[in-house]
Amino acid sequence: MPELIYKKESYEIMGCCFEVFNNLGPGLRESSYQKALEKVFGAKNIQYKSQLYVPNKVAEKVIGKNYLDFLIDDNIAIEIKAGDHFFRKDIDQLYAYLKSTNLQLGLLINFTKDGVLSKRILNIK
């Protein structure tokens, strides 16, 4: 069986997400969870960048822009959502970010009414 990439880092990130949910609970906007995660990442000395600009390019021309919620250790893309379900558009969005940045792993984090859900998205080149 293949080894999970960034296993330790993913575990630490999820621990931070659970901590945020345990403190804030359900029903908030994505921006509230994002601000709380910034505080927790900082307190745990996890290297992150937030609201990272990701250009959409065709033939090396920028045709649009997006912002990745978090980039952890310059290796893991994180997209935060608030809601009870994963939607195909959110998975596609994170996969597009992975392709644009040549990153291997993205975590789609959903803060739901019942807790935190996550989905690992791999960029298979």
pLDDT attached to residue 82: 95
pLDDT attached to residue 1: 65
Residue 117 CA to residue 114 CA, distance in Å, equals 9
Residue 64 CA to residue 44 CA, distance in Å, equals 34
* Contact call for residues 98 and 71 (beta carbons, < 8 A): no
In this predicted model, what pLDDT tens digit does every residue of 30-50 receive, in sequence order? 999 999 999 999 999 999 999
pLDDT attached to residue 81: 96
pTM above 0.85, yes or no: yes
Domain 7-122 annotated CATH 3.90.320.10? yes
The residue ranges of the chain whose pLDDT is under 70 are 1, 125
Q: Domain residues of the chain, as ranges? A: 7-122
pLDDT attached to residue 4: 87
